Amino acid sequence: MGTSSLQPDSAPERLEGEIVEGGKVEQLGEYHVDEKHRADTARYLAYGLVATLILTIVLQYAVTLTLVFMGNGDALASVDKLFNILLPVLSGLVSGAATYYFTRDKR
């Protein structure tokens, strides 16, 4: 049985203790973002999260009514558990986004 090398044949061999120079590292300055883009992003995030919360609530009622009318009462417990986990997380995100959106000018 022959031994195989994990490195390709064209890879240069490094000597032990050799220092590899990676370049110069400088302090990064703050990245400038136009205030209009920052405001647009905050607005889109707030509206998107509110829309997601509304769609989630509508979906919960639609799935619950569908399961009740189809007679699948056993699945209601699973759906309720899923939405009981999802809604507090979503409402926390929405409240944080709305708070930021309405108070961002008061810094």
Residue 88 or residue 6, greater confidence? 88
Q: What percent of the chain has pLDDT over 70?
A: 80
Count of domains observed in the chain: 1
Place of tokens 């639609």: 62
Span 22-36, average pLDDT: 78
pLDDT of residue 42: 81
Instruction: List Cβ neighbours of 46 (8 Å cut-off, separation of 6 or more).
Output: 94, 97, 98, 100, 101
* 82 located within any domain: yes
Q: How sure is the predictor about 59, in pLDDT bands with cuts at 50, 70 and 90?
A: very high
* 15 located within any domain: no
Calculate the alpha carbon distances from 34 to 9, 31, 38, 104 in Å: 50, 10, 6, 15
CA–CA separation, 58 vs 96, rounded Å?
21
| 83 contacts 31 by C-beta, under 8 angstroms | no
pLDDT of 8-23, one tens digit each? 555 556 666 677 777 7
* 10 located within any domain: no
Count of alpha carbons within 13 Å of 9, Cβ hemisphere only? 1
- Examine the pLDDT at 7 and tell me if it is beyond 60: no
CA–CA separation, 75 vs 64, rounded Å?
9
Count of alpha carbons within 13 Å of 90, Cβ hemisphere only? 17
* 80 located within any domain: yes
